[in-house]
């Protein structure tokens, strides 16, 4: 990418702040005032938020702002960073995510980051969306469709067939004893089979949470699964670059290491 002046990085960072706050959705946003308030509140950290996290990372063209919001919402939920999550849920709405898609991120994370974090994420997300809509609370979302084990097993086989394509022999499998069938029917026959979020997006969510949790074995499997679902290698690189800003360099380096191994097999 072309080198930028500091002024160009700052301008790019302010533009991301503007869109996160709804500047492209008809909301009046004074980008200069918001940037000044960020530095007044956080000092040099605020400068790096503007120039590096927003100006360098968020402004990269390899991933849409909608998809980067999806990844950041996943990371913040995984880390249980609920204050930041609240603002990024609203930013995700401004970037084109729907309330249903954001809720579905939390549903997917129930299986991949655990129910406690997913519940906190769902509660925070719904409150943030209600605030954005100017209502006290959102109406209840419909419950999951009741499904018997035959249907769950059939859907799990279909999902695993796609995820498992082009995987190396062996894979990340481990003997989970008698619980394996129960786990598989839930993860693949219920979570992955839900239509409320595209499988490409579910792959981004799962790769983001596994990178954040530093789970390289499972991550390698799901990086290949993401490629099977239409995510490009360039988009997965952007996912890891986003992790730099929201989880830190060490975790992102491990994610890049796993990604390079997958890329070497293509």
pLDDT tens for 19-53 read 999 998 889 999 999 999 999 999 999 999 999 99
Q: What percentage of the chain has pLDDT greater than the value 90?
A: 95
* Banded pLDDT at 171 (limits 50, 70, 90): low
Tell me the Cα Rg of the chain.
19
Length of the chain: 266
Q: Which CATH superfamily is domain 61-135+197-266 in?
A: AhpD-like (1.20.1290.10)
- 178 Cβ partners below 8 Å, 6+ apart? none
As a 3-state breakdown, the chain gives helix, strand, coil percent values, each rounded to 5, of 70, 0, 30
Token pair of 222, please?
């799901």
pLDDT over 90 at 128, yes or no: yes
Residue 172 has pLDDT above 90, yes or no: no
Range(s) of the chain covered by CATH 1.20.1290.10: 61-135+197-266
Q: What pLDDT score was predicted for residue 174?
A: 83
Residue 82's pLDDT band, with cuts at 50, 70 and 90, is: very high
The tokens of 81 are what?
Answer: 């960073």
Distances (CA, A) of 82 to 13, 73, 121, 155: 22, 10, 7, 33
Question: Would you state the pLDDT for residue 173?
Answer: 74
* Alpha carbon distance 161, 172 (integer Å): 15
Distance CA 131, CA 249 (A): 33
Tens digit of each residue's pLDDT (9 = 90 or more) over 195-212: 999 999 999 999 999 999
Query: Who has greater pLDDT, 1 or 96?
Result: 96
Mean of the per-residue pLDDT values of the chain: 97
């Amino acid at each position: 990418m072309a080198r930028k002046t500091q002024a160009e990085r700052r301008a790019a960072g302010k533009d991301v702040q503007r869109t996160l706050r709804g500047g492209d959705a008809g909301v009046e946003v004074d980008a200069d005032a918001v940037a000044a308030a960020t530095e007044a509140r956080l000092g040099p950290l605020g400068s790096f938020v503007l120039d590096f996290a927003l100006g360098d990372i968020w402004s990269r063209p390899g991933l849409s702002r909608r998809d980067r919001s999806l990844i950041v919402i996943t990371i913040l939920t995984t880390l249980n960073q609920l204050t930041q999550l609240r603002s990024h849920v609203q930013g995700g709405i401004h970037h084109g995510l729907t309330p249903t898609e954001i809720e579905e991120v939390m549903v997917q994370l129930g299986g991949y980051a655990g129910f406690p974090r997913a519940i906190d994420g769902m509660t925070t997300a719904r409150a943030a969306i209600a605030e954005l809509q100017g209502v006290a609370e959102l109406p209840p979302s419909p419950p999951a469709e009741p499904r018997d084990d035959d249907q769950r097993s059939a859907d799990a086989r279909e999902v695993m067939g796609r995820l498992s394509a082009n995987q190396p022999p062996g894979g990340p499998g481990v003997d989970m004893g008698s619980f394996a069938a129960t786990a598989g029917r839930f993860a693949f026959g219920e979570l992955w089979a839900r239509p409320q979020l595209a499988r490409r997006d579910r792959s981004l969510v799962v790769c983001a949470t596994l990178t954040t949790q530093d789970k390289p074995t499972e991550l390698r499997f799901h990086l290949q699964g993401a490629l099977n679902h239409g995510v490009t290698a360039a988009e997965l690189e952007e996912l890891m670059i986003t992790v730099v800003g929201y989880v830190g360099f060490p975790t992102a380096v491990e994610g890049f290491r796993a990604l390079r191994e997958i890329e070497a097999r293509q």
